[in-house]
């Protein structure tokens, strides 16, 4: 039942697939954003005059959109334009549109911004000068504080045989989808229509409506093929500006970011500093303390979600009798914190895995044995009291360990082998709806998401329908509608597309099969099959063509339809443990154990990945070739996080490496062969036992690479990425 050739192959191999960057409209103007010249400052004036003096140019700033100061949440740091205070460099302060791209760029440069600079805060250490004590230098810099405790932690540490305390640091990484953000907007007769490349058409609709102060329904979002998202295309970044420029000019307006703008303005996962302390008695973890400083960039106080979410991953998938976790979301003058494939989980896994390896070494135990002994198994509870259900990670680690042991016997001198685990929670809590249309010759799935690349829409939803109906997958067509026509769905993120939207599709099909059985008069749900190039409905021993079962109204529309939905419920955490702020439950448990073999240059500290193996609990795998491809791609992306990717911010809040030549992605020659294995027997809550697989493959990679580097060279690196310089410093070569 696997698809030999992806159904989007033809469009993508012929150049006919239309992406956001390809959009245009008759009479269109080209838009450009005017970006703040400082990271923090008070605006004295924004003079659009010189731009407007250029023929054909339309220009707008805060004064042209009175009352629009940050949407229904009243956030002055959200679009469209800051009226008074700039809070990060590259924040849009004005926008222009012109007949050509070149004129638009010239007009953007012509806008004169006068700013009184204010001191910028970029560095977590400067904001917490006495770290690891959490005495904060400037309380105004705290966006959120989360704090939780379980058991007698102080006693666990007081009575411990061994205590290991370390500080880790992680860097800022950017999603870098190859397609930059781009959209075309047109405002006509009270309808604000925008065509855009997005992971969340409905999210963009809600965001944009909120920012523009109009009802959701007056915004229509029409998606394109998405040239990669990885979390970066989840929010409205350009759409409000394009719509405002269209309203001001009376013409369609296109805005596309340059790569430099993409780096400077797009959302990134920002730096963190993490303190890890573990108490061990008799070879068992007796207590843990975790403290997190997370840079959340420009952000309103009290509006942070990232910290409570991220800190949940810092205890790892390990049984922990007593713990205390405390996290601070720290406001800096950077762009807002944004998700990047499994937000903060790869960073957290790097910290947890490296630290527990250090702990195991301190008590002279084999790190993998020590981890395996503490790993969650079905029937355990998470530190926050959630039952662990259908979690195959310990089996994955057993398999990984066997591979690691085998590789060690053949690794040449200078090479090292490392093992690490990571866990994730398929976000099936975010809901969605779908409609199915049974036509005489095919079954159509009508829904609102566009394919982002994983195959979760064009392959995954079709696989669900094929399995439920019995039809061959070639008879199933995934149809897309814009936000005014499609059933609602939360978006393509959180590894949820098959797990949540797929369940809505499944629900619709189950209803359809019931309707068909009722019409035949059979007690059991119908199944579908193909014969003579037409679809037959089979139930109670009766076989009917679709036109024999439809009503006059359905005949006119050409299909029998049914609707389905899935609004999942997340798990629950033990709220009595929470002392401050918000923590979040996991929904569907998933995880992976990875093995890396590296070669470390003992003179320069540079690291080369030699081979790699990944063992995943992905529940029931619906489409093995795509599942394998997903793991291969996630591992390669994780290799970037592990070794080369680091957005470098100056003290003045300037992004110093806003381009592909300085922000280094893994290239073809740097990614070795990757073995992919799936451990079976732990069904997920998704259709037919599926679990999400979009994000898990990236999670263990930095940790596995760090473990291998340590095995190869002895270098215990406590900061991501593991650049040659950091490895060399750990080896005292520098």
Q: Which secondary-structure segment (H or E) carries 712?
A: helix 701-713
* 218 class by beta-carbon count within 10 Å (0-12 exposed, 13-18 middle, 19+ buried): middle
Please tell me whether residue 8 binds other proteins under the rule CB under 8 A.
yes
Of residues 1 and 10, the one with the C-beta less far from other proteins: 10
User: Of the ranges 141-149, 576-584, 661-669, 677-685, which one interacts with other proteins (CB under 8 A)?
Assistant: 661-669
Strand order in the sheet with 527-531: 527-531, 534-539, 542-545
Q: How far is the CB of 36 from other proteins (least distance, A)?
A: 23
Of residues 101 and 406, the one with the C-beta less far from other proteins: 101
Of residues 324 and 645, the one with the C-beta less far from other proteins: 645
Please tell me whether residue 162 binds other proteins under the rule CB under 8 A.
no
Of residues 259 and 688, the one with the C-beta less far from other proteins: 259
Q: Alpha-carbon distance 20 to 256, whole Å?
A: 8
In order of 56, 262, 353, the CA distances from 95 in angstroms are 14, 16, 46
Of these, 123, 149, 151, 259, which contacts other proteins (CB under 8 A)? 259
Please tell me whether residue 452 binds other proteins under the rule CB under 8 A.
yes
Nearest to 686 by CA among 592, 568, 582: 568
User: Of the ranges 82-90, 202-210, 429-437, 629-637, which one interacts with other proteins (CB under 8 A)?
Assistant: 629-637
CA 1 to chain centre: 29
Of these, 22, 152, 380, 529, which contacts other proteins (CB under 8 A)? 22
Of residues 188 and 667, the one with the C-beta less far from other proteins: 667
Q: How far is the CB of 624 from other proteins (least distance, A)?
A: 11
Please tell me whether residue 53 binds other proteins under the rule CB under 8 A.
no
Q: What mask, x for binding other proteins by CB under 8 A, covers residues 84 to 103?
A: --------------------
CA 44 to chain centre: 37
Q: How far is the CB of 187 from other proteins (least distance, A)?
A: 23
Structure-token pair, residue 117: 């600079």
Q: Which residues contact 152 (CB under 8 A, 6 or more apart)?
A: 322
User: Of the ranges 32-40, 385-393, 519-527, 634-642, which one interacts with other proteins (CB under 8 A)?
Assistant: 634-642
The secondary structure of 169-212 as a DSSP string is EE-BB----SSPPEEEEEEETTEEEEEE--S-HHHHHHHHHHHH
Q: Alpha-carbon distance 197 to 21, whole Å?
A: 8
Q: How far is the CB of 10 from other proteins (least distance, A)?
A: 8
With contact defined as beta carbons under 8 Å apart, do 582 and 566 qualify?
no
Q: For tokens 């998606």, name the residue.
A: 223
User: Of the ranges 124-132, 327-335, 434-442, 453-461, which one interacts with other proteins (CB under 8 A)?
Assistant: 453-461
Of residues 230 and 318, the one with the C-beta less far from other proteins: 230
Structure-token pair, residue 625: 């070739």
Of these, 365, 629, 683, 733, which contacts other proteins (CB under 8 A)? 629
Q: Is 725 helix (H, G, I), strand (E, B) or coil?
A: helix
With contact defined as beta carbons under 8 Å apart, do 59 and 51 qualify?
yes
Of residues 365 and 473, the one with the C-beta less far from other proteins: 473
Q: Using CB under 8 A, which residues numbered 662 to 701 contact other proteins? A: 665-669, 671, 673-674
Q: What mask, x for binding other proteins by CB under 8 A, covers residues 517 to 556?
A: ----------------------------------------
Q: What mask, x for binding other proteins by CB under 8 A, covers residues 120 to 159?
A: ----------------------------------------
Q: Alpha-carbon distance 734 to 728, whole Å?
A: 6
Sort strands 92-98 and 58-61 into parallel, antiparallel or unpaired.
Answer: antiparallel
Q: Is 62 helix (H, G, I), strand (E, B) or coil?
A: helix
Count of residues interacting with other proteins (CB under 8 A): 57
Q: How far is the CB of 614 from other proteins (least distance, A)?
A: 11
Of these, 27, 213, 659, 714, which contacts other proteins (CB under 8 A)? 659
Of these, 282, 552, 556, 661, which contacts other proteins (CB under 8 A)? 661
Of residues 225 and 309, the one with the C-beta less far from other proteins: 225
Q: How far is the CB of 361 from other proteins (least distance, A)?
A: 31
Q: Which residues contact 8 (CB under 8 A, 6 or more apart)?
A: 17, 225, 451, 458
Of these, 258, 390, 444, 514, which contacts other proteins (CB under 8 A)? 258
* 675 class by beta-carbon count within 10 Å (0-12 exposed, 13-18 middle, 19+ buried): middle
Please tell me whether residue 656 binds other proteins under the rule CB under 8 A.
no
Q: How far is the CB of 480 from other proteins (least distance, A)?
A: 15
Of these, 222, 261, 507, 632, which contacts other proteins (CB under 8 A)? 632
Round to the nearest angstrom and report the end-to-end CA distance of the chain.
Answer: 56
DSSP state of 501: I
Rounded to whole angstroms, the maximal C-alpha distance in the chain is 81
Of residues 23 and 245, the one with the C-beta less far from other proteins: 23
Please tell me whether residue 389 binds other proteins under the rule CB under 8 A.
no
User: Of the ranges 75-83, 251-259, 433-441, 499-507, which one interacts with other proteins (CB under 8 A)?
Assistant: 251-259
Q: What mask, x for binding other proteins by CB under 8 A, covers residues 207 to 236?
A: ------------------xxxxxx------
Please tell me whether residue 177 binds other proteins under the rule CB under 8 A.
yes
User: Of the ranges 6-14, 409-417, 589-597, 706-714, which one interacts with other proteins (CB under 8 A)?
Assistant: 6-14
- Return the number of other C-beta atoms located less than 10 Å from residue 277's C-beta: 21
How many helices (H) does the chain have, and how many strands (E)? Answer: 18, 27
Sort strands 476-480 and 527-531 into parallel, antiparallel or unpaired.
Answer: unpaired
In order of 180, 239, 245, 257, 604, the CA distances from 359 in angstroms are 43, 49, 57, 46, 28
Nearest to 322 by CA among 275, 378, 277: 277
Q: For tokens 């009798």, name the residue.
A: 321
Interacting residues toward other proteins by CB under 8 A:
4-6, 8-19, 21-22, 24, 176-180, 225-230, 256, 258-259, 451-455, 625-626, 629, 632-637, 659-661, 665-669, 671, 673-674
């Amino acid at each position: 039942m696997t698809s030999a050739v992806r159904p989007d192959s033809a469009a993508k191999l012929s150049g006919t697939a239309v992406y956001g960057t390809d959009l245009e409209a008759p009479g269109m103007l080209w838009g450009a954003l005017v970006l703040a010249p400082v990271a923090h400052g008070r605006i004295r004036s924004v003079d659009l005059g010189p731009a407007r003096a250029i023929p054909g140019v339309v220009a707008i700033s805060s004064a042209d959109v009175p009352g629009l100061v940050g949407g229904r949440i009243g956030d002055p740091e959200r679009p469209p334009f800051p009226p008074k205070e700039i809070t990060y460099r590259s924040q849009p302060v004005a926008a222009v549109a012109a007949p050509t791209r070149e004129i638009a760029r010239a007009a953007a440069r012509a806008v004169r911004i006068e700013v009184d600079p204010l001191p910028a805060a970029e560095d977590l250490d400067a904001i917490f000068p006495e770290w690891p004590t959490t005495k904060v230098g400037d309380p105004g810099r705290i966006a959120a504080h989360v704090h939780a405790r379980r058991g007698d932690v102080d006693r666990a540490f007081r009575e411990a045989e061994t205590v290991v305390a370390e500080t880790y640091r992680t860097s800022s990484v950017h999603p870098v989808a190859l397609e930059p953000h781009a959209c075309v907007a047109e405002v006509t007769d009270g309808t604000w229509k925008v065509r855009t490349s997005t992971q969340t058409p409905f999210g963009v609709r809600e965001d944009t409506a909120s920012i523009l102060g109009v009802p959701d329904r007056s915004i229509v979002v029409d998606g394109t093929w998405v040239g990669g998202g990885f979390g970066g295309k989840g929010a409205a970044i350009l759409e409000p500006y394009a719509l405002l420029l269209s309203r001001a000019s009376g013409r369609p307006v296109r805005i596309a970011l340059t790569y430099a703008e993409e780096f400077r303005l797009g959302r990134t996962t920002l730096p963190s500093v993490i303190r890890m302390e573990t108490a061990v008695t008799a070879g068992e973890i007796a207590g843990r303390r975790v403290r997190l400083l997370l840079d959340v960039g420009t952000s309103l106080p009290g509006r942070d979600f990232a910290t409570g979410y991220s800190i949940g991953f810092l205890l790892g998938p390990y049984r922990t009798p007593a713990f205390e976790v405390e996290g601070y979301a720290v406001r800096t003058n950077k762009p807002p914190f944004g998700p990047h494939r499994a937000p903060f989980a790869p960073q957290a896994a790097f910290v947890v895995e490296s630290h527990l390896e250090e702990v195991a070494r301190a008590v002279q135990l084999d790190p993998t044995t020590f981890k395996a002994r503490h790993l969650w198994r079905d029937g355990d509870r998470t530190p926050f009291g959630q039952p662990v259900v259908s979690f195959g990670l310990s089996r994955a680690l057993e398999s990984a360990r066997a591979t690691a042991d085998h590789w060690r016997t053949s690794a040449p001198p200078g090479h090292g082998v490392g093992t690490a685990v990571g866990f994730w929670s398929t976000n099936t809590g975010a809901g969605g709806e779908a409609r199915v249309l049974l036509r005489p010759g095919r079954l159509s799935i009508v829904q609102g998401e566009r394919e982002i690349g994983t195959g979760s829409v064009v392959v995954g939803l079709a696989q669900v329908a094929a399995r439920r109906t019995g039809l061959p997958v070639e008879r199933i067509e995934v149809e897309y509608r814009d936000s005014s026509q499609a059933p609602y769905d939360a978006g393509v993120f959180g590894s949820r597309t098959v797990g949540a939207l797929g369940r809505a599709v499944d629900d619709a099909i189950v209803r359809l099969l019931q309707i068909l059985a009722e019409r035949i008069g059979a007690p059991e749900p119908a199944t579908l099959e193909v014969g003579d190039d037409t679809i037959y409905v089979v139930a109670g021993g009766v076989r009917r063509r679709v036109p024999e079962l439809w009503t006059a109204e359905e005949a006119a529309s050409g299909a029998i339809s049914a609707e389905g939905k899935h609004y999942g419920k997340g798990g629950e955490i033990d709220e009595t443990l929470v002392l401050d702020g918000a923590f979040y439950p996991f929904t569907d448990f998933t995880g992976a154990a990875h093995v890396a073999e590296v070669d470390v240059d003992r003179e320069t500290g540079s690291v080369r990945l030699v081979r790699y193996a990944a063992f995943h609990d992905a529940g029931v795998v619906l489409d093995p070739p795509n599942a394998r491809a997903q793991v291969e791609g996630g591992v390669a992306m994780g290799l970037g996080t592990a070794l080369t990717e680091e957005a470098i911010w100056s003290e003045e809040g300037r992004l110093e490496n806003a381009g592909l030549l300085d922000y280094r992605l893994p290239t073809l020659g740097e990614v070795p062969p990757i073995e992919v294995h799936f451990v079976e027997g732990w069904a997920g809550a998704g259709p037919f036992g599926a679990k999400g697989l979009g994000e898990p493959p990236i999670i263990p990679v930095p940790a596995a690479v760090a473990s291998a580097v340590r095995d190869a060279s002895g270098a215990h690196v406590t900061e991501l990425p593991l650049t040659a310089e950091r490895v060399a410093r750990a080896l005292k070569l520098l």
